[in-house]
C-alpha cells in the first residue's frame, strides 16, 4: 500500500499550537486504502504543546532564508528546520513519496502561508516542512486537495 505522510493534527492528534487538532474527515476516508503516517514537525522540532503561534517572517531575504518567529519576536527557525529534517528522515525511512499537510501552517502549509505580521494576511509560499519535502521529491498536497485520492 502507498505510504502517505500526514500532518498529525489532521489525524486528530492534539498537537496544534492551541493544543487541539484539525481532524479531517476526508483524510479518515483514506485509511483503508493507504498507510497514513502522522507527524507533527513542530513537536518533532522540540516545541511544546500548547505553544505560541508562529509565522514565517516576510523579509528582504525571503527567498534565500526563511525566519520563523512567534508573535513576541522569539526566533524559532532552528526548531522549525529541525522538525522539517525529522519529517524528511521519517519519509525516507518509510519510503513515503506523498504528503498531505495542513494548509496555512508555517510548517505544513503548501499553498500559501501567513505573512509574518500576525494579522491574518496570506502570501504565496510554503511552510518549512512542506518546502523541504517538495524539494526532496515528495509530492505535497493540502487537506483541501485530496479529492483525487477519495
Ligand atoms: S506543525 Fe503541522 S502537524 Fe503540527 S500542528 Fe502544525 S499543522 Fe499540524
- 90-127 pLDDT, tens digit per residue, is 999 999 999 999 999 999 999 999 999 999 999 999 99
Place 57 in a pLDDT band, splitting at 50, 70 and 90. confident
Beta strand pairing status for 35-39 and 113-114? unpaired
**Nearest CA among 12, 85, 6 for reference residue 39:** 6
40 lines ligand 1 (CB under 6 A): yes
Q: Is 142 in the pocket of ligand 1 (CB under 6 A)?
A: no
> Please, which residues bridge with residue 123 across strands?
113
pLDDT for position 139 = 98
pTM value is: 0.95
> Cell numbers 501567513 correspond to what residue?
114
Cell of 91: 519519509
Q: With 70 as the cut, is the pLDDT of residue 62 above it?
A: no
Ligand 1 atom, smallest distance to 108 CA: 2
Best probe residue, ligand 1, of 7, 109, 112 (max atoms within 8 Å of C-beta): 7
Distance CA 86, CA 111 (A): 22
Whether 99 and 139 have beta carbons less than 8 Å apart is answered as yes
Q: Tell me, what DSSP letter sits at residue 110?
A: S
Task: Round the average pLDDT of the chain to a whole number and report it.
Answer: 95
Mean pLDDT of 83-89: 98
**87 C-alpha to center of ligand 1: Å?**
11
Cβ 129 vs Cβ 122: under 8 Å: no
- What pLDDT is stored for residue 113 in this prediction? 94
Q: What percent of the chain has pLDDT over 70?
A: 95
Amino acid at each position: 500500500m502507498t505510504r502517505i505522510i500526514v500532518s498529525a493534527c489532521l489525524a486528530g492528534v492534539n498537537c496544534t499550537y492551541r493544543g487541539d487538532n484539525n481532524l479531517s474527515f476526508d483524510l479518515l476516508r483514506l485509511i483503508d486504502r493507504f498507510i497514513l503516517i502522522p507527524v507533527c514537525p513542530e513537536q518533532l522540532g522540540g516545541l511544546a504543546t500548547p505553544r505560541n503561534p508562529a509565522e514565517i517572517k516576510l523579509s528582504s531575504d525571503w527567498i534565500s532564508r526563511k525566519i520563523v518567529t512567534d508573535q513576541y519576536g522569539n526566533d524559532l527557525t532552528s526548531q522549525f528546520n529541525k522538525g522539517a529534517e525529522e519529517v524528511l528522515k521519517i519519509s525516507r525511512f518509510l519510503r513515503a513519496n506523498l504528503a498531505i499537510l495542513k494548509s496555512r501552517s508555517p510548517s505544513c502549509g503548501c499553498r500559501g502561508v501567513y505573512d509574518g505580521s500576525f494579522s491574518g494576511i496570506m502570501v504565496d509560499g510554503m511552510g518549512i516542512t512542506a518546502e523541504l519535502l517538495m524539494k526532496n521529491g515528495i509530492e505535497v498536497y493540502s487537506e483541501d486537495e485530496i479529492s483525487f485520492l477519495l
